[in-house]
């Protein structure tokens, strides 16, 4: 620590961390080598004095004094050249640092300001010392941007770790880390901070483990396989085909038949007396237009085509398609699509329930997917991601939406032969264009190496927690700025709740420790408590397990509403599970289209002009 005693060539600002009685030689270092990105500092470590030796430890920031400016460096390696240690006296050491920027005092009050990059490189013999608190705060200062505090710096727990919340959301963010390091807890904390800072934000969570609802009880409603209400006519043709073919390869001839007959069925719903007449021009219907139709009308169209003499060669195709449709109608896994016997245009209520318009004080929707078949999850995630983008698009940015994808490598795998193409396309569209319209993407994964690199490259703020896999570390290393690459050498050894944040949401690469949440708000706490051993294990209810396995609804069970208030004590699927008293359901609003600029019949069309 350089003080007033070092008057020649030094700064006049008091270094408050100096011990005036400490010998300078034991706490100061000198630059002995420097290139365009790194420097080597010669210093001393004395046995028995941990305070002096601890100034030069891996992961700490140090300051190299150059008079008017102070160069900031990050210690990434430390060694003793002769590989020996003397228990008496001083031990010369070499400290390798990575240069990350400069701090200079500006204004009458000498306020420290940090700039990335180096304009004046350290000279041989320049004095290095432990960074001051004021300089450390300047390094992470966000220059007037709206900030939220998410934890403390790992180097100095008296300094808050802050992020620019608007840039973090608008330019998308990712949280990566291996299993058990606290990803879900960090995400829950980030959501709480985002909701507090942005009351206009709506959040839709793709929750494959059914754990986020209990961690956000005052902000959240949850939707599961029992309460989901997503009419089949909201699905596009390729999404509907995924349901019919159950994840297997589709038949092109059957898809062509659907492309022809679904518009006819939609027209029959619109004008029952109009036969199969299709209106042309701007009012023409396609297989992708979100307009209601009846499955009975679709099957009727198939039967009529089979009866035509010229359709003799198509009959096996038509018969196979009819069997697929009837099988899907009878499958209990798809009751969320086909359960309603009265087909009506409920698009306003469906969208309002999913995306919380109005919020009724609960802006978060948790879509719980545990136990749902993969083909159901693929189709539903595709529909929800597409609707999120279209809703933000047609509201002309007035509706702010965050789509959070837990275990994102499931929906956006790096191998394009895996996953569901429409889901990947919908999420990729949000990643590439969503910020222009107020639709944001949050990506959470434990295997960034298995995630589509296009999606990860669009996430401008990354919170990297502990990663042990070399491939995953290489992916994150390729995304960070060269001037902070050495920071990632700590990825495999970071502690619980620790993360390295870099990108648009922070001033510079920052190693931090997230705030600690109370035990009852940690995702999955309820499940872990339920899984704790409580006896001999003879109280397992095999009948209840088989009922859940079969997933067949009981005829006498009361129909559940679309979304329900979170009950942290019970989970959907429990034998005694019942819906608690729900918040008032949003009613169709005559002024909905006017306030949000929505045109449901044009979802997926061209963006508004001008």
Whole-number Å distance between alpha carbons of 353 and 228: 10
- Helical H runs in 287-403? 295-307, 315-330, 335-338, 347-354, 374-394
Pick 214 or 195 by higher pLDDT.
195
Least confident of 49-53, 107-111, 177-181, 437-441: 49-53
Taking the mean position of all CA atoms in its chain, how far away is CA 487?
A: 22
Lowest mean pLDDT among 42-46, 177-181, 412-416, 599-603: 599-603
Backbone angles phi, psi at 90, to 5 degrees: -90, 150
Taking only the tens place, the pLDDT of each residue in 304-332 is: 888 876 777 888 899 999 999 999 888 88
Residue 205: the pLDDT is 93
**E strand map for 504-560:** 510-514
Contact assessment for residue 461 and residue 171, using Cβ atoms and an 8 Å cutoff: yes
pTM for the complete prediction? Answer: 0.78
pLDDT at residue 286, rounded to an integer: 87
Average pLDDT value for residue range 50-58: 66
Give the DSSP H/E element, type plus range, for residue 461: strand 461-464
CA 289 vs. chain centroid, Å, equals 29
pLDDT of residue 595: 44
- Identify whether the C-beta of residue 166 lies closer than 8 Å to the C-beta of residue 145: yes
Interval 441-456 mean pLDDT: 88
- For residue 72, what are the CA distances in angstroms to 99, 209, 232? 6, 43, 58
Of 148 and 249, the one with more pLDDT: 148
- Rounded CA-CA distance 301/449 in Å is 47
Q: What is the pLDDT of residues 106-152, one digit of tens each?
A: 888 888 999 888 888 999 999 998 888 888 888 988 888 899 999 99
* 501: β partners: 463, 510
- Tell me the C-alpha distance between 359 and 363, whole Å: 5
Considering 84-88, 157-161, 171-175, the range whose residues carry the highest mean pLDDT is 171-175
Give dist(CA 119, CA 116) in Å, integer: 9
Residues above pLDDT 90, as percent of the chain: 23
Cα–Cα distance, 162 to 164 (Å, whole number): 7
Q: In whole angstroms, give the CA distance from residue 403 to residue 401.
A: 6
Tracing tokens 């966000």 back to the chain, one arrives at 142
201-238 confidence digits (pLDDT tens)? 999 999 888 888 888 889 989 888 777 888 888 888 98
Q: Do 374 and 247 touch, CB atoms closer than 8 A?
A: yes
Task: Count CB-CB contacts under 10 A for residue 234.
Answer: 22
Asked whether the predicted pLDDT for residue 559 surpasses 70, the reply is: no
Three-class secondary structure assignment of 255-305: HHHHHHHHHHHHHHHHCHHHCCCCCCHHHCCCCCCCCCCCHHHHHHHHHHH
506-529 residue pLDDT tens: 988 888 999 988 888 888 765 555
305 CB neighbour count, 10 Å cutoff: 19
Q: For residue 512, list its beta bridge partners.
A: 153, 499
Q: Which residues pair with 96 in a beta bridge?
A: 40, 77
State how far the Cα of 367 lies from the Cα of 356, in Å rounded to an integer. 13
- b vs e for 262-292, b when ≥16 Cβ sit within 10 Å of the residue's Cβ? bbbbbbbbeeeeeeeeeeeeeeebebbbbbb
- pLDDT at site 560: 40
Q: What is the mean pLDDT of residues 555-572?
A: 48
Within 10 angstroms of residue 515's Cβ, the number of other Cβ atoms is: 17
Average the pLDDT over 378-396 and give the result.
89
- β-pair partners for 79: 94
Phi, psi (rounded to 5 degrees) for 196: -65, -40
């Amino acid at each position: 620590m350089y003080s007033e005693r070092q008057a020649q060539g030094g700064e006049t600002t008091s270094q408050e961390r100096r011990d005036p009685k400490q010998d300078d030689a034991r706490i100061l270092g000198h630059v002995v080598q420097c290139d365009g990105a790194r420097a080597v500092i010669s210093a001393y470590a004395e046995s028995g004095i941990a305070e002096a030796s601890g100034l030069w430890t891996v992961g700490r920031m140090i300051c190299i004094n150059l008079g008017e400016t102070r160069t900031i460096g990050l210690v990434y390696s430390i060694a003793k050249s002769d590989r020996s240690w003397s228990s008496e006296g001083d031990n010369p050491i070499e400290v390798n640092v990575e240069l990350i920027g400069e701090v200079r005092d500006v204004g009458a009050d000498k306020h420290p300001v940090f700039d990335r990059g180096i304009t004046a490189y350290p000279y041989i013999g320049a004095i290095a010392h432990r960074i001051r608190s004021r300089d450390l705060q300047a390094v992470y200062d966000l220059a007037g941007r709206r900030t939220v505090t998410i934890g403390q710096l790992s180097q100095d727990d008296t300094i808050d770790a802050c992020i620019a919340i608007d840039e973090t959301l608008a330019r998308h963010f990712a949280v990566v880390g291996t299993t058990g390091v606290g990803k879900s807890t960090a995400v829950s904390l980030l959501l709480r901070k985002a909701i507090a800072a942005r009351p206009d934000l709506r959040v839709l969570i793709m929750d494959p483990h059914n754990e986020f609802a209990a961690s956000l009880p005052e902000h959240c409603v949850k939707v599961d396989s029992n309460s989901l209400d997503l009419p089949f006519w909201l699905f596009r043709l390729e999404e509907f085909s995924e349901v019919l073919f159950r994840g297997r390869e589709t038949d092109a001839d059957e898809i062509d038949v659907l492309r022809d007959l679904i518009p006819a069925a939609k027209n029959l719903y619109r004008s029952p007396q109009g036969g199969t007449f299709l209106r042309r021009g701007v009012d023409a219907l396609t297989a992708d237009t979100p307009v209601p139709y009846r499955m009975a009308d679709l099957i009727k169209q198939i039967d009529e085509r089979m009866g035509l003499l010229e359709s003799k060669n198509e009959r096996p195709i038509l018969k196979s398609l009819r069997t697929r449709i009837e099988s899907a109608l009878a499958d209990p896994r798809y009751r969320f699509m086909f359960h309603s016997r009265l087909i009506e245009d409920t698009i306003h209520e469906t969208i309002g329930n999913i995306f919380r318009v109005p919020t009724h004080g609960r802006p978060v929707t948790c879509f719980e997917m545990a136990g749902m078949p993969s083909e159901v999850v693929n189709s539903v995630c595709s529909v929800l991601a597409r609707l999120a983008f279209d809703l933000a698009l047609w509201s002309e940015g007035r509706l702010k939406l965050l789509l959070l994808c837990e275990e994102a490598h499931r929906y956006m795998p790096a191998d394009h032969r895996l996953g569901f193409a429409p889901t990947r396309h919908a999420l990729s569209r949000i990643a590439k264009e969503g910020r222009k319209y107020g639709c944001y993407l949050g990506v959470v994964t434990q295997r960034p190496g298995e995630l589509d690199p296009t999606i990860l490259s669009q996430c401008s703020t990354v919170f990297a927690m502990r990663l042990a896999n070399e491939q995953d570390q290489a992916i994150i290393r390729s995304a960070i700025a060269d001037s902070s690459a050495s920071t990632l050498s700590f990825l495999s050894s970071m502690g619980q709740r620790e993360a390295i944040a870099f990108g648009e949401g922070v001033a510079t690469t920052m190693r931090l420790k997230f705030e600690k949440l109370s035990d009852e708000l940690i995702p999955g706490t309820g499940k872990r408590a339920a899984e704790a051993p409580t006896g001999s294990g003879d109280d397992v209810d095999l009948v209840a397990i088989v009922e859940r396995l079969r997933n067949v609804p009981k005829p006498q069970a009361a129909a559940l509403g679309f979304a329900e208030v979170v009950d942290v004590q019970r989970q959907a699927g429990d034998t005694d599970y019942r819906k608690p008293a729900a918040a008032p359901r949003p009613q169709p609003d005559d002024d909905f289209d006017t306030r949000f600029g929505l045109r449901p019949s044009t979802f997926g069309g061209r963006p508004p002009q001008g």
